[in-house]
Amino acid sequence: MTKTWTHIPILAPEIADLLLIHPEGKYMDGTLGLGGHTHYFLTRLGKTARVFGFDRDEEALQMAQEKIKDERLITFHASYTQAPQLLATQGILPLDGILLDLGLSSYQLDNPARGFSILHDGPLDMRFDVGSSLSAATIVNTWPLEKLVQILKDYGEEHRAEEIALAIMRARKERPFTTTHQLAQLIETVIPRRGKNHPATQTFQALRIACNGELEAVAQIMEALPRLLKSGARAAVLTFHSLEDRLVKNRFKELAQSGQWRLVNKHAIAPSYEEVRQNRRARSAKLRVIERS
């Protein structure tokens, strides 16, 4: 690979302190990415510990393996939603801890070829797994007006969803959308630039969530926690926008009310001012941790 991608793991020491209860335990990194959190965890874990790393992005998975080179890491090219079945089949369950870092990795965001970035022109893709059939371009070019409006409202919390969707419908009749700049520039004609955030930010978020089924996946893994974790084990979840955080918060509250789980932190933990200063992508992160009684 011609370029070395870096990813700064957010709240890594704090997560390790809260999650790594058993130094020789079995842990799952449900969103391995470039392996930043797992690389740090392995410096804190013992020789017989194991980390099972899942990721839908095969290229990121390969880079994580090259970076870590540690026999304690076992990787799966799969969604974390497949973990209950895959780990049960191999007799690995139950686990001592789970991390879900729901943010987009720096590699995905900074690589124009993946189509996630507004700032860098690239194909309108946004798939975590490039083998999946549904891309952002497919959504933008083929979905009906009602569905476009719905995802912009529900997943992007975009107040001008109807205007944007109508503009997309008109433009795609003339020429299909193929690049990120093409879509971003169209949205700028609907919503003029003001402030630091690009007016297409919420639309890009909505498309990414829709084509990867992100919220459905979060809801699914939250439901699966009792099947994955043993008594005394913990789940730590890093979220980056209100939709994800609301799902996690509500599920954790529901589990705690059952009397069989305990909220380790009643309020979400945020990165320090210094961490945000060093890594701007940490600014919207929220960490929630729960323990099975």
Residue 36 amino acid letter: G
CA distance 268 to 277: 19
Fold of 12-107+214-292: Rossmann fold (3.40.50)
Q: How far is CA 274 from the centre of its chain?
A: 23
The pair of structure tokens assigned to 285 is 């992160």
The reported pLDDT for the residue numbered 6 is 61
Do 102 and 238 touch, CB atoms closer than 8 A?
A: yes
Secondary structure tally for the chain: helices H, strands E: 13, 7
d(CA 73, CA 49): 9
pLDDT (0 to 100) of residue 196: 82
Answer yes or no: is pLDDT of 3 > 80.
no
pLDDT at residue 5 greater than cutoff 80: no
Q: What's the pLDDT at 100?
A: 97
In this prediction, residue 8 carries a pLDDT of 83
Contact 148, 131 (CB under 8 A): no
- Mean pLDDT to the nearest integer, 133-162: 97
Contact criterion met (CB below 8 Å) for 237 and 102:
yes
112-212 homologous superfamily: Putative methyltransferase TM0872, insert domain (1.10.150.170)
Across the range 216-239, mean pLDDT stands at 97
Containing H/E element for 10?
none
Q: Per-residue pLDDT for 109 more than 80?
A: no
Rounded to 5, what percent of the chain is helix, strand, coil?
A: 50, 15, 35
Give me the half-sphere count of Cα atoms (radius 13 Å) on the Cβ side of residue 237.
26
* Global pTM value: 0.91
CATH 3.40.50.150 in the chain, residues?
A: 12-107+214-292
**Would you tell me how many other CB atoms lie within 10 Å of the CB of residue 127?**
22
Start-end of CATH 1.10.150.170 domains in the chain: 112-212
Q: Is 77 in contact with 61 (CB distance < 8 Å)?
A: yes
Q: Quick one: pLDDT band at residue 194, thresholds 50, 70, 90?
A: confident
Q: What is the pLDDT of residue 1?
A: 39
Question: In the numeric block, which tokens belong to residue 215?
Answer: 């919220």
DSSP-derived 3-state class of residue 251: helix
When pLDDT is cut at 50, 70 and 90, the band that residue 141 belongs to is very high
Contact 262, 256 (CB under 8 A): yes
User: Which is more confident, 5 or 255?
Assistant: 255
